[in-house]
Amino acid sequence: MYLHQLLSTMQSILHKAATRGLANHGWLRSYHTFSFGRYHNPERMGFGTLRVLNDDYVAPGRGFGKHPHENMEIISIPLSGDLKHQDSMGNTTVIRQGDVQAMSAGTGVAHSEMNANPDEPVAFLQIWVLPKHQNIAPNYSQITLDPKDSDNEFQQIVSPNPNDAGVTINQDAWFHIASLNPLTKIDYVLKNKNNGVYAFVLEGDVRMNNQVLNKRDGFGLWGIEIDFIFIKALSKARILVMEVPMG
């Protein structure tokens, strides 16, 4: 089958940055790709098992006080600044730009997330993924990335396998990040052809298959009958690719 015939079997959805929901509480500015809190859009209830993608900016010294979660996989990716984390599992840590944190809430966990700095904001992505198994024992993992590992190639940052690269979550999902020089071409190879892929542009401009994406745009592909997607950087760019089950 020719490539253009394969591409025609795909389904896709585009979420431009300007169409996201916004919650502005003064100390917190949060952009919601999918329905969250007071932002409810019945056409944006997630992408497969990817349920929440929040782009958060927290004022100096402020943050989210202790609050509970259960049966959700929560991934935090700081983009700038420092985020202090405390939880009921006994973890107290600071996650910084270049770190990735994952928490399987399972049967229940409470945590807080505060800006660790008194004089500068913190920006981070908070991502929720629906779990594969319900009511597991809560789990925590955190890594520090080597930025050279994402230069013009995909660096794995989330995996379901505890012995694999990245933090571990309770779902058959894989996240990768790449920092691309202008005109760099790169393929993302799916771990499972039945999964969907949702890309979120952190910086710059890219072309993903035939769709041009700009900073903070999101683009999902599913129903894929080939085992890779292709991306070309149109400027210096950074992109997060999330492969998740669609069921």
Q: Which residue has the tokens 């979660």?
A: 69
Nearby residues of 189 by Cβ (< 8 Å), 6 or more positions away: 227, 228
Instruction: Specify whether the CB–CB gap between 214 and 11 falls below 8 A.
Output: no
Query: Strand, helix or coil at 106?
Result: coil
What pLDDT, on the 0 to 100 scale, is given for residue 235?
A: 98
In this prediction, the residues of the chain whose per-residue pLDDT falls under 50 are 1-7
Please give the tally of structural domains in the chain. Answer: 1
The CATH code of the domain that includes 74 is 2.60.120.10
- Residue 9 has a pLDDT of 73
Full domain range(s) for residue 166: 3-244
Count how many Cα atoms sit within 13 Å of the Cα of residue 94 in the half-sphere of its side chain: 9
Q: How far is the C-alpha of 213 from the C-alpha of 207, rounded, in Å?
A: 6
Show the tokens assigned to 172. Answer: 């058959």
Residue 219: phi and psi, rounded to 5, are -145, 125
Q: What pTM value is reported for the model?
A: 0.94
User: With 0-12 CB in 10 A as exposed, 13-18 as middle and 19+ as buried, what is 62?
Assistant: middle
| pLDDT at site 1 | 32
C-alpha distance from residue 81 to each of 59, 108, 110, 122, 232 (Å): 10, 28, 23, 4, 29
